[in-house]
Chains A and B, each alone.
Chain A
Amino acid sequence: MKLISEPYILLTITIGIYWLTKYLQNKTNSVFLNPILITIIAVIAILKAAGISYDTYHEAGKYIEFFLKPSIVALGVPLYLQINKIKKQVIPIVISQLVGAVVGIISGVFIAKWLGASDAVIISIAPKSVTTPLAIDISTSIGGIPSLTASMVVMVGIFGSVAGFKILQLFKVKNPMSKSLSMGTASHGLGTAQAMAISQRFGAYSSMGLILNGLFTALFTPIILALLGFI
């Protein structure tokens, strides 16, 4: 086994790149130094150059990934702290999530279709806005390719976390609750993590988007795709 494929070395590289980009981003305020994007690209480039497979990398990556599910559970804390505010907003939240879920499924499918995607890609892209385990279940149930769906979910998450708040700013969305809620709707856990990085209050609203859009997308995807004649 090559020295570089030792888990501790791969972990050091991953954490090192992330820490360095985060440090540089804080220093320069540059949009291009997004820590998650740079780290993913850099680590993939290193693995490809060194001829290391993802399975080998996973022996190291699993120690980081271990914290992913507990961190989603921990979102229960900001959710608890904001519960009274959320209760007052139930109707606007639920309606906006219904809109987001339907827009997400239909726009994803039609953009892919218009640009000439194959049926497998069109179906696999439908549940892309929701968290990976859910998206994979939905994809399987409608006859998509789960691994393709999983990679689209990651792309949506990275794009949302890198550009989401800037897009909302560009379209002059002012209300903090609307902004963070839609981050969770549009880009699931990664959008929520980005909202969490601003404040726990933002994280709580974003969790609501993550949960409700997950539920609505699971319910609506088979119906909408059947109505549109894709399945």
Chain B
Amino acid sequence: MIRQLFLILVCLALGEVVVYFTGIKIPSSIIGMLLLTAGLHFKIIKLKWIQGIADFLLDNMVFFFIPPGIAIMCYLDLISKEWIPILASVIGSTVLVLISTSFTHQVLRKTRSKKPNTDK
């Protein structure tokens, strides 16, 4: 388990290093995710080395978002002043993004798969 934790943290730490030296505006965790994908893809990291901890982290991901969610209590005053436009925009825009993205992907995917052999 220690080695597993170490490998995940190495990816995260390398992500921090990349952000520090390049000043790139991407979160270190997302760079770490891509480094882990690359490490697995190029067989630098074996899947069994991190499978256990990855399953634990991924299975409980929703739970880890609780504290940032509770942080919303700091902004309740700010939100309550204009809660109608804020809530409507949050809900309305999220619904529109869900529908437009999934429809676009679904339609493009179908048109592509109609042509034979393009996927090979």
Contact = CB atoms under 8 A, between A and B. Distances in A.
Contacts of B39: 76
Interface in B46-96: 47, 50-51, 53-54, 57-75, 78-79, 82, 84-96
Nearest to A174: B106
Given A64-B63, A76-B34, A159-B91, A92 B109 contact: yes
B114 to A, nearest CB: 13
Contacts, number: 317
Interface in A136-150: 137, 145, 147-148, 150
Contacts of B73: 44, 47-48, 54
Contacts of B40: 76-77, 80
Contact of A186 (B11, B65, B101): B101
Interface of A: 14, 18, 35-36, 39-40, 43-44, 47-48, 54, 57-58, 61-62, 64-65, 67-80, 83, 88-89, 91-93, 95-97, 99-100, 103-104, 107-109, 111-118, 121, 125, 128-129, 131-134, 137, 145, 147-148, 150-152, 154-161, 164, 167-168, 171, 173-175, 177-179, 181-183, 185-187, 189-190, 192-194, 196-197, 200, 203, 207, 209-211, 214-215, 218
Interface of B: 5, 8-9, 11-12, 15, 25-30, 32-37, 39-41, 47, 50-51, 53-54, 57-75, 78-79, 82, 84-106, 108-109, 112, 119
9 contacts: A70-B12, A77-B58, A115-B88, A148-B78, A155-B72, A161-B62, A173-B102, A177-B105, A211-B33
